Amino acid sequence: MSDPKGNDGDGITALSYILSGVLLYGGLGWLADRWLGTGFLLPAGLILGLALGVYLIIRRFGARP
């Protein structure tokens, strides 16, 4: 994967991290909100998922030489 031509799919991988993060933790927050009757867990989950997605992108792609 060090080949400069080998990054055709990286954009899609990055996008899938962001999407999965937001969907997973946003979804969990939404469920928790419905269960507990609160209203702050959905936005908190969305932000947490987004942050984790960005973090994973940095981990996976930023570490390359």
Partner 1 sequence: MGPALTLLEGSAPEFGVGAFESRPLFPSAAYQSCHDGWEAIEGCSYSPTWTDIWLTNHIAQAVIGALLVIGFWLIVKPRKTASADPNQNGVIPSKRQFLGEYAYNLIRNGVARDLIGHDYQRYVPYLVALFSFILVNNLMGETFLFMFPTFSKVGFAWGLAILSWLLYNGVGIKKKGFFGYLRSATLPHGVPIWLAWLVIPLEFLSNIIVRPLTLGLRLFANLFAGHLVVMVFVVGGSWLLFATSSSSTGYSPVWNVAGGLALLMSFFVFAIELLVACLQAYIFTVLTAQYVSSSLAEEH
Q: Which residues sit at the interface with partner 1, rule CB under 8 A?
A: 1, 3, 5-6, 8-9, 12-13, 16-17, 19-21, 23-25, 48-49, 52-53, 55-56, 59-60, 63
To partner 1, the closest distance from the beta carbon of 35 in angstroms equals: 18
Q: CB nearer to partner 1: give 40 or 55.
A: 55
Which amino acid is located at 56 in the chain? L
Tokens of 27: 């979804």
User: Distance (Å, rounded) from C-alpha 30 to C-alpha 21?
Assistant: 14
Taking the least distance from each CB to partner 1, the nearer of 24 and 32 is 24
Q: Do 22 and 43 contact (CB within 8 A), yes or no? A: no
